[in-house]
Amino acid sequence: MDNRHIAFIGAGNMSRSIISGLVKSGYDASAISAINPSQPKLDALQAEFGINIGNDNIEACRQADVIVLAVKPQLMAEVCGPIASLDLSNKLIISIAAGVSCNSLTEYLQQPIALVRTMPNTPSMLGLGLTGLYAPDNVTSSDRAFAGKLMAAVGEIVWSQQESGINQVIACAGSSPAYFFLFMEAMEQAAAGLGVAPDDARLMIQQAAVGAAQMVKQNPQLSLAELRAQVTSKGGTTAEAINTFEQHNLRSTVDAAMNAAVNRAEQMANQF
């Protein structure tokens, strides 16, 4: 990948995840800048990854070839306002924000832009991310290729043909690490109720989760239902646990939760 200079506008959780993955994958740290109003996160990023840091969005954007917009959706209009004064015609803009449409971003930046909307997730920090990407028709194949390679440096990528695909990625991958954390939290609480020592509970739950995820990854020929069946002895303990989940409507709860994520993304797109 050509080491274009990338400015991350907003140095929060998600920028940290992507920067960490990028540097670990060999991207030149001197070609990465992170910009944030407050200093502590910047200092930590510089100490850990050797990247450039700063507080001046405009100057960073002026110098960058690629601008990654990584602030909260509700701040996007305010952050883009001053950046709109720059000539962005030779720059690639990548947004990672949920619920801010290409139309809104183009309006905020007040000029035709080469824009790729992406939806990464926090496991990017380990190189285990999943990023959905969408680019309107005006984006060149070289900019598409760069955005794809950039996000592929921190995990798997999936291109959407339509912008609405980004909201599906939010439900399935952007937000979903939190679903798994919630499930593990619930298991941790139940384990405490069973009298398991906290450290033992964490170790057991963590290993089961990592092991289960690896089994999914390494057995693409097996459906998830088949993998589940391999654990579930007839008349045994797992069957009782699984029946309890089914009786308590786990599937419809998951369905409602993923639809709620998409609905919220659609609401945000009307708001921001």
Ligand X SMILES: NC(=O)C1=CN([C@@H]2O[C@H](COP(=O)(O)OP(=O)(O)OC[C@H]3O[C@@H](n4cnc5c(N)ncnc54)[C@H](O)[C@@H]3O)[C@@H](O)[C@H]2O)C=CC1
Q: Could you give the CA distance from residue 100 to residue 84 in angstroms, rounded to a whole number?
A: 16
Token pair 């399935």 is at which residue? 172
Give residue number: closest CB to ligand X: 12
To the nearest whole angstrom, how small is the minimum distance from the Cβ of residue 87 to ligand A1CAB?
30
The two structure tokens encoding residue 253: 């709860």
Measured from the CB atom, is 101 or 201 closer to ligand X? 101
The set of residues, in sequence order, having a beta carbon less than 8 Å from that of 60 and lying 6+ positions away, is 7, 9, 33, 35, 54
Q: Which residues does the annotation place in the binding site?
A: 9-14, 57, 70-73
Measured from the CB atom, is 105 or 119 closer to ligand X? 119
Token pair 């939010």 is at which residue? 170
DSSP secondary structure letter of residue 99: T
Measured from the CB atom, is 12 or 229 closer to ligand X? 12
To the nearest whole angstrom, how small is the minimum distance from the Cβ of residue 77 to ligand X?
11
State how far the alpha carbon of 259 is from the alpha carbons of 71, 156, 158, 168, in Å.
Answer: 24, 23, 20, 9
CA Rg value for the chain: 21
Q: Which residues does the annotation place in the binding site for NADPH?
A: 57
Pick from ligand A1CAB, ligand X, none: which does 131 bind, CB < 5 to 8 A by kind? none
Q: Which residues bind ligand A1CAB (CB under 6 A)?
A: 98, 170, 174-175
Measured from the CB atom, is 123 or 174 closer to ligand A1CAB? 174
Q: Which residues bind ligand X (CB under 6 A)?
A: 9-15, 35-38, 41, 57, 70-73, 75, 79, 96-98, 119-122, 174
Q: Minimal CA–CA distance to 21: which of 132, 151, 135?
A: 151
The two structure tokens encoding residue 131: 């990023």
To the nearest whole angstrom, how small is the minimum distance from the Cβ of residue 98 to ligand A1CAB?
4
To the nearest whole angstrom, how small is the minimum distance from the Cβ of residue 267 to ligand X?
13
Q: Which residues does the annotation place in the binding site for NADP(+)?
A: 9-14, 70-73
Measured from the CB atom, is 80 or 201 closer to ligand X? 80
Contact 23, 50 (CB under 8 A): yes
